[in-house]
Amino acid sequence: MKQGTFYVTSADAESAVIRDVTDGQVHTLSEAIDADAGEIIDATIEAEPPMEVAYRVVELDRTYAVPVEESAEPPTKQAVDTAAEQAVGEVTRHERAGTGEVHVLTVPEDATDDAVADVLDDEATVERAAEMGVDRVEIRSQTGVVSVRYLP
């Protein structure tokens, strides 16, 4: 048995595929679950005999979505200062007071909108949020700077 937090990569009326947000292991579920692709589940799963290649959910504790949204607010002064000190393509992580983190990305000035779109569409953004135990993700940007805020 394995207890954990999983990202639902796909789900239909007969089965689902989930990925552990901690270790990245992918599990195919032999039965449908009450969750949609893109959602997070906290669950206990176990391999089904005899081949133990498919899994079933023994206990489903919680199903939830982590909203990832772009904010109209600019990055904080700390984020802008951090971006100014790092090379294009670098990422710096800052802990937040309380729960969560802020990731500051320095991007090419003409690629800021594309970088924001990439973060918005990336499954890993939701998986990181679930692993951190936060409820939402806010993306702030200005030319050359993208701030990804993982918030309670």
Tell me the pLDDT tens digit for each residue of 93-139: 999 888 999 999 999 999 999 999 999 999 999 999 999 999 999 99
Are residues 114 and 76 located together in one domain of the fold?
Answer: yes
Q: Are residues 134 and 86 in the same domain?
A: yes
| Pair (72, 60) in one structural domain | no
Do 110 and 149 contact (CB within 8 A), yes or no? no
Overall average pLDDT of the 64-79 stretch = 97
Domain shared by 85 and 35, yes or no: no
* Alpha-carbon dihedral angle through residues 36, 71, 135, 83, given to the nearest 10 degrees: 110
Mark out the alpha helices in 25-132 (DSSP H runs): 77-85, 112-121, 123-132
Count of domains for the chain: 2
- Based on the fold, state whether residues 60 and 72 are members of the same structural domain: no
What is the Cα–Cα distance from 67 to 88, expressed in whole angstroms?
27
Distance CA 136, CA 39 (A): 12
- Give the structural domain span for 50: 2-64
Closest CA relative to residue 91, chosen from 74, 72, 106, 110: 106
Q: What is the model's pTM?
A: 0.92
Same-domain status, 6 and 79 = no
Domain end point (choices 45, 64, 83): 64
Q: Tens digits of per-residue pLDDT, 114-126?
A: 999 999 999 999 9
CATH (domain of 45):
2.40.50
pLDDT digits (tens, 9 = 90+) for 11-65: 999 999 999 999 999 999 999 999 999 999 999 999 999 999 999 999 999 999 9
Tokens linked to 91 = 């990422």
CA 76 to chain centre: 22
